[in-house]
Chains A and B, each alone.
Chain A
Amino acid sequence: MSEEHIKNEITEAHLHAYVDGLLSQADASKVSDYLIQNPEKADEVADWAAQNKMLDNLFSHEEAELRTQDIDLSISVDRPAVFAKFLRVAAMIAIVVAGVASGWVARGTMPVQNVSLQVATVQNARAAHVLYTSEVLHPVDVGADQAAHLVDWLSSRLDTKLIAPDLSSSGFSLVGGRLLPSGDNPAAQFMYENGAGQRLTVYASPGNEEKLASFQFEKWDGFSSVYWRDQNLQYAIVGEMEREQLIAIATNVYRQLI
């Protein structure tokens, strides 16, 4: 780092910067040349360097590492106030609605970090939706009457705390859920039904990614899906309904998972 560019004479400031390692290599060699020719200054600078060295030795890096390794940073992470969150979600919805109203659409490229992972997961979620929602006798493995057990079981399998979101405000009630493969990973599917017999599924599987992804909406034949990724899991909500309705439900789910 070059703090003091030596243009003309070498000043005391340059000498301090030299000792503190703040000069460029070119400037530092100018100073060392100067010191060779000025032994008194050289003595002084050598003393400063010795002081620096002592200071470095006095305060051990190893001890500092040891004493700070257990500092808990998570305690103070305060979740944003519910109201602030609600405002943000409302803002999100407003943006989406505006996007829909203006007919804005992005075709082709999806600027998402891990497109293949997303594509595979959404495919799996859709396939599972199509397969099981058409089942009359056994649409789910574990019914809503054992909801607590269902959630415990799937949480244990996915090694993450899951919940079965409450979608009653959207008119949907829990039918139950099942465990599914997602490649080599486990995935959880929760199925919901409304008064008209329409079904939707909430699909969750591990992400193993650090990169988050915000809501991705897709439409295929009569089916729509909303996909997103957070720190632990990928989610895909699948249903046969209009975009706004599905996004509203996805938002509802998302808010409950925070």
Chain B
Amino acid sequence: MPIPTYWVSAIFFTDLGCFDDLMMNKFQLELKKSLPDLWRYAFALSRDRTNADDIVQDCAERAVRKRDQWQRDRPIKPWLMTILLNIYRNQYRRDTYLRLVPIDDDQSKLHERLPAPSSEQDRIELAATAHAINQLPPEQREALLTVVVGGLDYGEAAKTLDIPRGTVMSRISRARARLRQIRALENGSVRRIK
């Protein structure tokens, strides 16, 4: 079929519906990629797998509803973690505190569920670290987890935690010192894990 010459009058106008769908795809993709890291963060905060599932689901739903608030040139994870942290703080933080059960029960539960490390010594270390972290005051714990598990830098962590950067640093510093102290104390006495 011969191609006829034609006068092309191209009227371009942004079909806002199509544009929205395109942006929605990018958003959904970024959100989906972040979900595993969000789950780790939620699990680290709540120490409960089922709660972590719920928190991440809740976070994803809220993120979709609030997608227009995300500035697209910025990384999405810090934004998502802010949403997640708020969910955790508003609904689950109290529960986590209450679940600080007596020492032995806590450690044996962890012992069963920890990822398989290479040796018994490693298992003990892991359990002990988990326990030590739970003894931190919540604001120190959250600051530490936001950086170390969440993977944010101090500036992003400051925004997510809604505190000044200097405060993030001092909380992390205190958390680390505290953990060191706890472990030193524990190492001073022999503990048998069931």
Contacts and interface: CB of A to CB of B under 8 A. Distances in A.
Note whether A and B form a binding pair: yes
A64 B10 contact: no
The size class of the interface chain B forms with chain A is 35 or more
A73 B64 contact: yes
Contacts of A51: 129, 148, 176, 179-180
Contact of A64 (B43, B61, B145): B43
Contact of B43 (A59, A78, A219): A59
Given A60-B115, A95-B13, A230-B18, A44 B6 contact: no
A67 B64 CA distance: 19
Contact of B31 (A22, A73, A216, A218): A73
Contacts of B40: 59-61, 64
Interface string A106-143: 11101100000000000100010000000000000000
B173 interface: yes
A127 B43 CA distance: 60
A189 to B, nearest CB: 16
B145 A55 contact: yes
Contacts of B53: 67
A67 B52 contact: yes
A258 B129 CA distance: 53
B83 to A, nearest CB: 13
A171 interface: no
Contacts of A65: 36
Given A3-B153, A59-B40, A230-B21, A218 B8 contact: yes
Contact of A218 (B9, B25, B153, B180): B9
B84 interface: no
Contacts of B43: 59, 64
Contacts of B19: 212, 214
Interface stretch (A10-18, A29-37, A147-155, A197-205): A10-18
Contacts of B169: 13, 16
Contacts of A217: 9-11
Given A47-B180, A92-B13, A52 B148 contact: yes
A103 to B, nearest CB: 10
24 contacts: A16-B176, A47-B179, A52-B148, A54-B129, A55-B149, A60-B115, A61-B36, A63-B115, A64-B43, A67-B49, A71-B32, A73-B32, A73-B60, A73-B64, A76-B61, A96-B11, A99-B11, A106-B10, A108-B8, A127-B1, A214-B14, A215-B12, A216-B11, A221-B6
Interface of A: 1, 3, 12-13, 16-17, 20, 22, 44, 47-48, 51-52, 54-61, 63-65, 67-68, 71, 73, 75-78, 80, 85, 88-89, 91-92, 95-96, 99-100, 105-108, 110-111, 123, 127, 210-221, 228, 230-231, 243, 247, 254, 258
Q: Give me the 5 closest cross-chain CB pairs, A-B, nearest first.
A: A64-B36, A54-B129, A68-B35, A220-B6, A214-B15
Given A80-B17, A221-B4, 16 more contacts: A3-B154, A44-B180, A47-B179, A58-B44, A63-B115, A64-B35, A64-B40, A67-B52, A73-B32, A76-B64, A99-B11, A214-B12, A217-B10, A219-B7, A221-B6, A254-B17
